[in-house]
Structure 1
């Protein structure tokens, strides 16, 4: 099956590595990174900024591995979205990244990666877990879309090559048994899969959605709805559910996902050329942004407790989440990683 899955991007520009007692990073745009304060990241940083040996896989449109925020901490994975180019390219058209090149030619993946792990270097932004490594695996191309098969290959590559957390800021309404099996296998290999719940504004416990002549599908977004995935919804700077976020008892947690400032590719890409985003840094909204917030929190928790299983890490994040809204709309609550790492 070769169904098309889409990145959950809201393309509207808007505004154990460290010993206890370490000082918190202070980066250039940190004052507008409200999500860090909401998730109590400063308290978590007193325990760890992230184990430098911990690898978080970002399965997305690629990552700009030349961005200074990721210097020395990128593991280049494959480009599963690669398609053999036409014999003649349009004049002036940039060639697409090759099969071994996970360069981001869209912009979404670089933004996601920065939320997780932008460096604590006093410049730009700082990620939730600024010392962990990012494994860049390109499963979506310059259009922001990719196939089920591309994503399946990406998941398999990630957990077979040492990624302990797999971030999936993507999704679609149709399930796939093979991807479901791969996520279960990832858990068995010690990898936590964190996935976006979707930007449809759906109650995930509601009745099926009509697709007109194409029939109907459940109020579900996959891979977030698979049993083995940690599904994440989005909140804003007032701890209210984002108006676009899917919600319901199928969520694990929620995390900040509205006007999140993070890294953008340093060179032109689809989002900077067509959607008006700036190079280097910009703000985006979506469950795509909330998901790496939660994945970064998972990275800090796993760094503080390297002997914990993925299930234990997820349980800690759920158990310590703040009840900011009525259950079950917010899952178990909004992530509070300062409590989870203890």
Structure 2
């Protein structure tokens, strides 16, 4: 199988590349990545001789079209995904998430290529902290940020291209990922690398916001299960029943790294900070027979901490710039 992976030098995409080559050694993998600050060719070290890396923009039809024409499958990870950045400048989110998806859809329509679209649970908005409900495939979209609204728009484009043009596509919306190769601007790796540097973790507001955490490896096994067995045109929600509020996550990181669990700093909250995300993965598990490997968040987090300790050369060049940006925002 010839697989084109967009955003394959980013966090989830790079892990997907490694897992694909590990589990499907006969796959021919091409990565299309713009190699912005969030894309790092070093994330593909160790498999670079088995991957064709094309530096380019998913919104550039002249780059996208020949790559799609040479592929049996496109897995679209490429996205601007950091909420804080979308609040500061929404422009690249509109370009990458909307125009980029449109460009890919037109290419797969021309060439009859199978397509899988990676999205987020944030398109559904948020839930009250005391609400027993979870997001399902039928939850109405209610995005609250430039990031989540552009991802919602990209999902709707895919659904329209399936219905209008018979594009062979599936979609997945996943909860918050954690694991190796995640950029240190993100919540969990930022706290881990701060502690490695002897700096107290930073907690937005009171830290009561709840996220449904899933190890990146579990996300990617679910994606392959959907590609292999999912119904064309359908959406599947990926989650691992990992609800935990940000305060609990910070305290667990501190504990696992040998510190006082209460030794962190409160900083200014994010504007419009969503309260709670929660995924109902019933359809994925019952219809496709998928289940997560990392059912214990504590052990998955310990593995992640060990990875950042062992791979300082990967994240160190970005650390000072990231913390300077947050300091300027009072965070």
- Normalising by structure 1, report the TM-score: 0.37
Give the number of the structure with larger relative contact order, counting CA–CA contacts within 8 Å between residues 6 or more apart.
1
- Normalising by structure 2, report the TM-score: 0.38
